[in-house]
Structure formats: C-alpha cells, structure tokens
Structure 1
Amino acid sequence: MSHSHDKQDSCCGNKTHEHKHEIGREDSDEHEHDHGGDPSSFKTYLPAIVTLSLLLIGIAFDTIFKVEAFKVVRLYWYIVAYLPVGVPVLQEVWETFKAKDFFTEFSLMSVATIGAFAIGEYPEGVTVMLFYTIGELFQMAAVNQAKRNISALLDVRADVASVLRKGQYESINPSKVEIGETIQIKAGEKIPLDGEMLSEKSSFNTAALTGESKPKTIGKGENVLAGMLNLDKVIEIKVTKVFADSALSRILEMVQNATTRKAKTELFIRKFAKIYTPIVFFLALALVTVPILILGNEYHFQTWLYRSLVFLVISCPCALVISIPLGYFGGIGAASSNGILFKGSNFLDLITKLNTVVLDKTGTLTQGVFKVQKVESNIDQIDFVALLVAVEAKSTHPIAKAIVEYAGGSEVYPAENIEEIAGMGLKGMVNGRAVLAGNVKLLEKFKIEFDSKVAAIEESIVVVAIDGKYVGYILIADEIKEDAADAIKQLYANGVKQVVMLSGDKTSIVKKVAGVLGIDSYFGDLLPEGKVAKLEEIKKDKTKVIAFVGDGINDTPVLAISDIGIAMGAMGSDAAIETADVVIQTDQPSKIATAIKIGKATKNVVIQNIVLAFAVKALVLVLGAGGLATMWEAVFADVGVAFLAILNAVRIQKMKF
C-alpha cells in the first residue's frame, strides 16, 4: 500500500548492484598460502616440535658439550632437523613455480635457508625456516580464531524442529519443515526457523542475531527469527520461511562472503608484495655481486652471501600479506558481534570516509509499528471499517497491517480488482462498491471532494471514498525509536557533516520528527522515484560520501545508488537486505555510528601494522646490508613483526564499541 508516509513499498553477499564501487575481487586462481591444518590438532604442530627438538640438541652438542663425534654427522643432523619444516615450504615453492609465480615468501625463505646451509651456517638455516613455520602457525591460529569467533556469534542454528503433523509433534531436521507448518519450541530451546508467533507472548534472547543481551518480548502475530533463544514457556510458531531463507542462514552466508570483497589497502598490499618481492630478490643478488667490482681482491664471497641471505629473510612480506587481511577480518567479526554485518572489507574502509547520511523515516527512525488511534466516518462505522479492511488486507504495508489488526484480522466482504496507485493508495471493488483508500492525493486524483480540515491533519491518515464520495478517515500513529535522537548526535560526533531525512509521509509529519531528532535537512511527500531523485541531487557534490539507511522494498533503488547502502535487517524487506552493503540486525539507528567506529578502529590497526612492518624492516634491511644485522635480527624483522602485527589485528575483536 502507498499512503502518505515513507513506506510506500584470507591469506589471511550477493548484491543486485555489483557494479557499485566494486573495488575489485582477487582472481580465484591467484595463489595464496593455504594455512591448512587443524590448529587444535597435535599433528599440525608436530613438524615444528621435531625440528625444534633436533635443533636444540644440535646446538647443545655444538656449543655447550662440544662433542667431537658430532662434527662427523653435523651436516646430516641439521638436514634432518630442517626437513620437517622445510619440505612443506619447498613443496609450496614447487607449486608456485608451476603457476609461474617465482617471487614469493616461500622462494625467499627457501633460497635464504638453503644458502645458509651452502656457507656452513646450518643452525641459522634451520632456525630461519623453523621460526618462519612458527610464524605461519601463529597466523593460522589467528585466522581460525577469528573465524571461530564469528561462528560462535552466529552459528546458533537449531538441529531439530518439533513440527505438528497428523495431530502430534515429531522431531525432524529444520530443512524439511515447510512454510505454513506449526512448530513448538520449549523454554531454553533455540528457534529453528523464522515464523509468526501463535502463542500469546514470550521473552527471547536475541544476542546471536543482534548482539543485544537484553531479552526481547514478542507477542502473538509478531515475527520471531531463527537463532533466537526462547526464555519463558512452551510456544508455538507458524513457519513463514524455509530453513535456507531464514534470517540466520542469510547472516551466515553474508559473513562467509564478506571476505571476497577486498579493501583498497588489501588489494594494494597484494600488488605491492608482487612488485616488492622480486625487487628485494634482485637487490640481494646485487649485494653479492656488486661488491666484487668495488672491493676487488678484498672481496669475501661468504661474507657478502651471508649479508644477502639476511637481506632476503628480512624482506619477506609475510607481516603485511597476512596481518592486513586479518585486521579487516577482525573488523568484520567485531561488527558481527555488535549486530552489524559488513558484506565486504571494502565497506569497512569506505565507511570511515562517510560525511553524509540520508535516512528513511518509517521503520528506520520510527518503530514502523502503526496503531489505529481514531476512526471518523459519516456512514455506519462497522461497515466503514469492513469495506476498508477488504482493500487493505491485500497490502503488506505497515499501515494496512495496523488497520487489519484493528479490525480483528477478518475480512467481512470479498474484494477484487485491487490496484495500487504509487504514492497514493489503493482502489478496488468490494461487495460491488468502488472503494478508494489512501492519502488526500488519491482523492484529488479522482476529483473527489472532501473536508478541507482532513488535509490539515498532520498525523498519518487513510482517507476513504466509496462510490466516488468521501466517507471518512482513519488516524494512524507511529512512534520514534528510543535511540533515534541519540543516533543523530552520535553521527555528528563521528564525523558526519550532514544528516538528511527522506520520507513519503506528509512534509508536516516529517518536519515534526526532524525537529524532535535534531535533523536540519528533511524532505516529505516523496514517491519512491522522488527519493532517488533527491539522493542523486545530493550526490552531485562529489566531496560527499553518502550512506542511505532504509528497510523497505521501495528503498532498494536508493540503497543501490548510494555509496554505502545500510539496511535495517530485523524488520527490513529481503530486497533491501540483499541490496545493502551493511545490514543492522538490531534495527537500531545508533548502530550506524557503531559501524563507523568499528571501521575507523579497523583502519587504525591496519595503518599501525603497515607502519610497524615497514619501519622495522627498513631499519634491519639497512643494518643487514651493512653487515650489522645477523640472521637473528632478520628473523625478528620477519617473524617477530608478523607476530606483533597479528596480535594487533586480533585486538579489534576484543574492543568495546
């Protein structure tokens, strides 16, 4: 229904507007290091443990006990120590070489460690590969921990649904339950499927979906979502969506797909690493060969080879290639725990530049739950409501639902030829009578006379005409969300320069809501295409990075053309959620500011990691080239920095927003 309001209609989500600020996707055939292995399995760590044990024994025989007999088997001992950690990396080198990718961290580490063996530095060769492997294990553990954190927050799907069939309840897999069937959920059980509440009411823990710990009371006729935890009593629910289409399944799919959309920084680092790695390889080669021309007879091959090997170890880009994607993954995880779903790390980046927020009104800043406040008619009121309900029952609009609910949910008269008139309302035939129901523009369109006082009413109303004559109206009220005013304040506090409200509702109502919330710029009486036109007008200023926030089907075009589309997910339409770049599961407008904070925190961590890695590597590279840094400093510059960067990236998920 279209009334006079705004709801007319890792190295470590599908959208309908894939072209929009698509920063780019990494080709699926690009080689990435598979961190494979179960981080909880002892077998994963066994190669490093074996190598470490053999290395320590070898060093003890070499330097502490100085066993003469050990010198005979020394080379073979360190080769055996090298193999458990070295063979997997050498296999990676072979795979990358087959893919014609010659300059990777695997080839750098292999050349450096084999070179160390070539000049007799066996313990250092083993140590470099061991610490490289330990660094990889830390990276694997960090990535898996990030994934587990998100899974723990979201994957709370019930394994069994108790379905009413043939007069009794039977337990079956939720994927086999059909729409319209009745399911029973006991106290303490998870909701297995989205549905409509049949019982009077119950309290639910919605933390898995929204991040909110406060229980939510849901009454008869209201929606309940898969993943909620029933706290009170045994309840019954009528299933409205199949398992695969449930809110929870959709969320899990969004988070799973989020890592496919890379931030500009991630893409830059990957491209940079591809250029940087061969450059340092050839610099290391120059470090061995060029001194021959300068030093002549004083040139000592082993000394300069050692320096070049140190140079290679330092130059490994692991800290950047792993910690930066992990930082963004951590940001996506932190957002998920706050009931905010980013469909890609590119949007985490973009939201930090946000300076203009355009908001829908109903369902975004207001509850979108309408109640009939007053009925005025010049015919029998029961007949008036019955005729109106017959038309409104064909609409899914919140106002239509409020009218049907007010009438007790039953249709007295049959309706036919129902037609929606965009931005105005509905018309149809009810019990042989022509009924018009909508805003005053609908009556004006059909040149129907009505009391001028009706047009002056500020609240949302549905005016009704029967057989070409005005017969009355119903007054509808909506409430502003309790955190809406605070949300506007937080937006300004987090760098947003302009907040605009667009609505299909009357300008007088929009002005009133804007005044209460502290919004300076607002536009009412907008049809869906009017919202698009307004946003395009705002977009003409190229300095503006714009987010549109909405929840209805008719918000889909505006979500698509904004720089960042943000959908209210708990009550929002599937189309809006599908089109949006960010989904707020709690339906709280204050979460927009939280999303900005998480984006900024993620960006700060990523920048810190880049500065840390470059600063330490640059310093040790200079020292290594000058012969002032050994393999031990090189190991710290590579593995140590990578480890510190990983810890910093994981920190995002522990932050409070």
Structure 2
Amino acid sequence: MAHQHKYDANGKQLCCTLEEKINMKTDKDSGCCTTHKEHKHSDDDGHDHDHSSGDQTTLQMFTPAIISFSLLLIAIGFDNYFPQTWFSGWVRIAWYIVAYVPVGFPVLKEAFESIRKGEIFSEFLLMCIATIGAFSIGQFPEGVAVMLFYAIGEIFQTLAVQRAKSNIKLLLDQRPDEATVLKENIAISKKASEITVGEIIQLKPGEKLALDGKLLSYNATFNTAALTGESKPDSKLKGETVLAGMINLNTVVQVEVTTAYTDSKLSKILEMVQEATAKKAPTELFIRKFAKIYTPIVVFLAIAICVLPMLFVDNYVFRDWLYRALVFLVISCPCALVISIPLGYFGGIGAASKNGILFKGSSFLDIMASIQVVVMDKTGTLTKGVFKVQKVVAVDVSEADLVKWVASLETKSTHPVGTAIIEHAKGKEKGATVTDVEEIAGHGLKGKVDGNEILAGNVKLMKKYNISYDAEIDNTPFTIIVIAINQKYAGYFLIADEIKEDAKQAIESLHKVNIKTVMLSGDKQAVVNAVAEELSIDLAHGDLLPENKVEKVQELKSQNLKIAFVGDGVNDAPVVALADAGIAMGGLGSDATIETADIVIQNDQPYKIFTAINIGKKTKQIVWQNIGLAFTVKAIVLVLGAGGLATMWEAVFADVGVALLAILNAVRIQRMKF
C-alpha cells in the first residue's frame, strides 16, 4: 500500500501506515512506529507480549519447545529407568541446562529488558526466579517443565492474537494499491493514492474498487462483503454511490471518483477498527492495573513463605520452604488474566466487524451488554429512506408549476424526501432560477424559485409562518410535504417510505431480552404511530425537532437507564453523542453522525442493533468466565502450594493450564454465529 509519512514542524515523523499500526506500537517520545521487539512494555501496555511473529510459521514457532520437550523426555527417561548410567553428575546438569535454554533464554532476555526499563516485577521475572530457584535445589525436571509449558502458553497466545487480528488484516486486503483510470478513452494504471476527485475509473469484473465514487454505467452488481459483512450482491444504477472495497461482479463499468483515497468510507472503517483495539474497556484497564500491584505483592509473599517459617517452625528446612515459595511464584503468574481478557475484547471487536458492525473501543462492548433502552430514529433507521411520491395536490396553481418549483428548491437539499420529489419531476426542475435557499432544521426549506418565495416542509413549517392549510393532512398516515407559495398554501406532496424487511425481527428480538424500544422522529405523529403499531414499538414520539429528541433522551437518562440511540442523519449527531452508546447507520448515514457514533452498522440493517448487543453480552460473559476461572483455580493451588501440598507440576497447571483454557475460551467468540 502506498504510504506517505507525515512530519511535524521540526521534521519529526508523526504517523505510520494502518498495517504498521496493527503490527507495531507507537513510540510515545517520537510519535513513530516501532516494532514490538523494540517497544514491548510501556506504561500504557501493562502486559504486552511480542505477538508479532513476523514471517514465522507455526512449526518454526514451536521448534524451540519441541527441542526442549524432546530433551526433557529423554532426561526423565534416564532419571527413572537408568539412574546409575553415564547420565549423572555434571552430565545430567548440563543436559537439563541444554533442555532449558531454547525456551528459557527468550524469557531471561525479556526479564532483563523489563528490569532495564524500570519494570522490575513482571511475569518474566516470576518465571526466571521460579525456574532458576528450582535448578538451585536440584529440581531440574520441574525447572525445565515450568519454562517449557510457559513457552507453549506464549505460543498459543501468539496464535490466538493472530487469529483475532485476521478480520482487520482481511479488511486491509480489500483496498487495491492501483486502479485503471481512463484518460481520453485510454486506460492507464495509476496508484490509487494519486487518483484525484473527478477522474474516471474503469473496473473489470472481479476487480475491487479503490476509491468511493458515482456509477457512470447504466447498472452494475457488486459484492459488498468488505464493507457490510454481507456477501449478498448489491445492484447499483447509474448515478448511485459505490464505495471503495466493493467488488464488481458482472460487466466492465466506469466510476467517477467523488472522494479522495484517504477519505473513502473503507479508509474510515480501517481507522475505526484500528483505533478500537487501542481503547480499553474498564474491566481490561482494571485487570492491568491490578496485575501491576499484584505481581510485586506475590514476590514479597513468596519471600515471606521462604523466610518467616524459620521463626515459628522447629524443624525448619530451608530447601523445603524455598520449594514452596517457588511453587507459589509459578502459580501466581497473572498470565491468564492479562492476556485472555484483552484477547476476549479483541475477539468481540473482530466478531463484530465480521458481522458488519464497528465498535470504536472495547469499552462499548461492555456498554452494549448493559443497554436497557434502544431509542431509534425512523427514516433511514427503521425505514429504507427511499421515498416515492404517491400523490400531488395543487391548490390555486398548476400541478406542473408546483412540481417544477418545489423540485428545483429540493435540489439544494440532501434529504431523502427531496430526492423523491426530484425523481418525480423527471427533469422538469431544470432551468429554474433558485436563490436565497435556507434549510430550517426540523421544518423544511425556504427559498426563491423564479422570483416566487417557496416554503416546502412539514406542517410545523406552515405553523411557523402562520400559513393556514388543509387540516385533514394532519391525520394522513403518510409523509406530507406541504407547500406555500408567496405566503399562501399551494398544496402538498404525499410521500410513502417503506419499512425495512428486518425491522420487525429486530424489535421482536430486543423485546425478547427485555430491552425497551422507543422511536423518535421529526415526521408527523400519525405517520410515526402507524410505523410504531406495525413494528410493536413500545413508545413513539413524532413532530420532534433535533433539540426535542435530545430532551426525550435526557428524560430517559434521568431515570438512570442505559440508553443506545440509533440514527443516520446529521440532525441525529447531538443525540447520538448524548446516549450511553451512539449507533450510526453507516450506509445511508451522514459523516457527522458516523464520526460522533460509538458503533457503526455498515449495512443499515436494524437487526444488527440486536446483534451488537448480543456480541457485547457474549464478550462480557466470556471475560468474566475467564476472571472467575483464573482466580478460583489459582486461589486453590496457592493455598495448597503454601501448605506444601502442591508441587511444581500442579503449579504449571494453575498457571499455564488455566491461561490456555482462558485463551481457548476467549477465541470461542470468533467462531460464534450471531
């Protein structure tokens, strides 16, 4: 992927590519990217292993462990069956040291590096003290075994993290480096990052679109899985928006670029997912802080277990109590917690992105797990936002003039209703002179068309300007755009929207898990009531301005309820920001709402709201299962170890065994069907 570094005023490099960000850390002093090997343990990292195994295969990663395991088995065999042979004395000690080095040296090195950076009490130090201590009292098999199984645990952690990152790397593969651009009907290959707005891209069947654009060909069919998580083909017509990452499925098509490479929807998705992995959940942050306090306490307790009994025990034997202290150290290593918990959240974010849902941080997985009320906008969220003009009523003006003037005014708006009126006009709006256009939030449009002052909007707009209109309009369960020309009522457009296919299923699923549903809309109450009744929504409010939506959400928050708000329009941005979890519909959604939102649903399906909540609940459940498992097993074996009833072998299970079980549990979420 093409990449240009950014620099500050002093020439210092400030950023790195998204690929580098995923596989590297950022140096806090320089702002530049450094590999894990160069920067493994910062204050913010808490516990951050080098899981970037580079180009190593799984076999290469396991090779040191296989060597140590083979040498250990041979040594144990000689110890048990041929104790009086050549395998004794210094030969035996040397053999165990050789078995220890392949798995022990990397950990010794890590411990040294941590101490050099001022992080004395790390799990690496615990493992080094425990294993070297075991060697010092002649427990060679246990010393090698502890380090061996610890190394195997680290490898499984690496593999688990790699699996968790696979969805992000898959996204990175969706954006091609180059594209075919037409210059005077000649096709030339050009770097995607150098293509400018307005250029024409030619896309062959099977090729991925590199930048967002507008379809110039009559029609085309695309695979949108990279953006939405859905492999169902999406048909587009001439003039419709197509996005970077979409794959052309049938004929050669042409696309006019409308967005710069770095501003494409896919670029924003990649940044959202990357940033999400850096934003920690409260549980994760607590565990990391806990581990920093817990580890030194464990070291001092181990010293106490070894030394203090000499003051109280008559037949005190230093070797026995040192062994108990070493067992205690092995058991108390916090690996299971500080690795499996972040991995659980990482898995949740990965599972969500695979389902077309982007969480902007693991903290929002926790929030979604505790949501009690889902508040939704109507248009574009529960309905398709694809309006059709069903009827035009003109009063004291010809229908042709009414359609022409209103459609001309609506060309200055981006609202789906305006688009429906323009489509209904079929080009009749062209040639009209439009001036002094003003968009009145929550009301409609005001402007001059061919010298006539036109008001086009809902009934609130008429009331605002004290213009009387046909009262029967208020009871019509359809969207009505009321028109006034030169301060006089001139008729209306009756427009119908269509409810999304999965909206009913989404509401039913939310009700099954005891989540209350509320709909807030700027549309009139009659239309809102009709939609709410069809979908069985608990509470519905219409005729709302953006500030009224904020008030309604504040009322719910005053009842100490956890609230998620789902919207797609720019007017929804304030209330999205106010909610505990702001959810944006990413396909039709405005950039302002997507930027403000905590969670983005890429394919605009309401059912994904329930999916997001379900993923949050499953992630939290797995995280707490791991916490419970680790604390329970370790507490039991810690007591047994301190009392001399547990050996190093039980300690290995309590540490590495529990860590592996927790990791397997954490990656389970990535295989779940939502």
TM-score, normalised to structure 1, is 0.92
Find the aligned partners of 1:495 and 1:336 in 2 and give their Cα distance. Answer: 25
Question: Quick check: 1:11–1:33 contact (8 Å CA) kept in 2?
Answer: no
Q: Secondary structure at the match of 1:464?
A: strand
Q: What is the match of residue 458 of structure 2? A: 439
Q: What is the match of residue 393 of structure 2? A: 376
Q: CA deviation at 1:52?
A: 3.1
Q: After superposition, what is the alpha-carbon deviation per residue over 1:367-416, rounded to whole angstroms, capped at 9, x for unaligned? A: 01111222222323333222222211111111112222222355221212
Q: CA deviation at 1:582?
A: 1.0
Question: Quick check: 1:434–1:466 contact (8 Å CA) kept in 2?
Answer: yes
Q: After superposition, what is the alpha-carbon deviation per residue over 1:608-655, rounded to whole angstroms, capped at 9, x for unaligned? A: 211221222122222222222211111111111111111111111101
Question: Quick check: 1:11–1:322 contact (8 Å CA) kept in 2?
Answer: no
Q: Secondary structure at the match of 2:278?
A: coil
Cα 1:315–1:455 change in 2 (3 A) is closer
Find the aligned partners of 1:262 and 1:29 in 2 and give their Cα distance. Answer: 11
Question: Quick check: 2:168–2:270 contact (8 Å CA) kept in 1?
Answer: no
- Equivalent residue runs for 1:84-123 within 5 Å: 84-123=102-141
Cα 1:456–1:610 change in 2 (3 A) is closer
Cα 1:69–1:593 change in 2 (3 A) is closer
Question: Quick check: 2:51–2:162 contact (8 Å CA) kept in 1?
Answer: no
- Equivalent residue runs for 1:342-381 within 5 Å: 342-377=359-394, 378-381=396-399
Structure 1 gap ranges (5+) = 1-9, 13-25
Q: What is the match of residue 233 of structure 2? A: 215
Question: Quick check: 1:210–1:338 contact (8 Å CA) kept in 2?
Answer: yes
Tell me if 1:467 matches 2:490.
no
Q: Secondary structure at the match of 2:188?
A: strand
Question: Quick check: 1:330–1:650 contact (8 Å CA) kept in 2?
Answer: yes
Q: CA deviation at 1:153?
A: 5.5
Tell me if 1:203 matches 2:221.
yes
Q: Which deviates the most, 257-266 or 209-218?
A: 209-218
Cα 1:215–1:504 change in 2 (3 A) is same
Q: CA deviation at 1:455?
A: 4.5
Find the aligned partners of 1:285 and 1:393 in 2 and give their Cα distance. Answer: 78
Q: Which deviates the most, 451-460 or 474-483?
A: 451-460
Tell me if 1:37 matches 2:56.
no
1:395 to 413, 431, 437: 413
Cα 1:50–1:69 change in 2 (3 A) is closer
Find the aligned partners of 2:454 and 2:52 in 1 and give their Cα distance. Answer: 66
Q: CA deviation at 1:528?
A: 0.8
Q: What is the match of residue 34 of structure 2? A: none
Find the aligned partners of 2:337 and 2:45 in 1 and give their Cα distance. Answer: 21
- Equivalent residue runs for 1:102-251 within 5 Å: 102-152=120-170, 155-251=173-269
Find the aligned partners of 1:27 and 1:355 in 2 and give their Cα distance. Answer: 36
Q: Name the aligned partner's letter for residue 95 of structure 1.
A: E
Find the aligned partners of 1:76 and 1:295 in 2 and give their Cα distance. Answer: 35
Q: Secondary structure at the match of 1:238?
A: strand
Question: Quick check: 2:279–2:361 contact (8 Å CA) kept in 1?
Answer: yes
Question: Quick check: 1:261–1:343 contact (8 Å CA) kept in 2?
Answer: yes
Find the aligned partners of 1:451 and 1:295 in 2 and give their Cα distance. Answer: 98
Q: What is the match of residue 17 of structure 1? A: none
Tell me if 1:47 matches 2:64.
yes
Q: CA deviation at 1:565?
A: 0.4
Q: What is the match of residue 269 of structure 1? A: 287
Tell me if 1:509 matches 2:527.
yes
Q: Name the aligned partner's letter for residue 32 of structure 1.
A: D
2:514 to 478, 495, 501: 495
RMSD across aligned C-alpha pairs, in angstroms? 2.2
Q: Secondary structure at the match of 1:169?
A: strand
Q: What is the match of residue 344 of structure 2? A: 327
1:425 to 426, 444, 453: 444
TM-score, normalised to structure 2, is 0.89
Q: Which deviates the most, 243-252 or 337-346?
A: 243-252
1:638 to 642, 645, 655: 655
Higher relative contact order (CA 8 A, sep 6+): 1
Question: Quick check: 1:494–1:597 contact (8 Å CA) kept in 2?
Answer: no
Find the aligned partners of 2:595 and 2:671 in 1 and give their Cα distance. Answer: 29
Tell me if 1:309 matches 2:326.
yes
Q: Name the aligned partner's letter for residue 68 of structure 1.
A: W
Q: Secondary structure at the match of 1:158?
A: coil
Q: CA deviation at 1:454?
A: 4.1
Q: Which deviates the most, 133-142 or 119-128?
A: 119-128
Q: CA deviation at 1:176?
A: 1.9
Cα 1:406–1:183 change in 2 (3 A) is farther
Find the aligned partners of 1:472 and 1:304 in 2 and give their Cα distance. Answer: 94
Tell me if 1:78 matches 2:78.
no
Question: Quick check: 1:153–1:336 contact (8 Å CA) kept in 2?
Answer: no
Q: Name the aligned partner's letter for residue 248 of structure 2.
A: N
Tell me if 1:541 matches 2:559.
yes
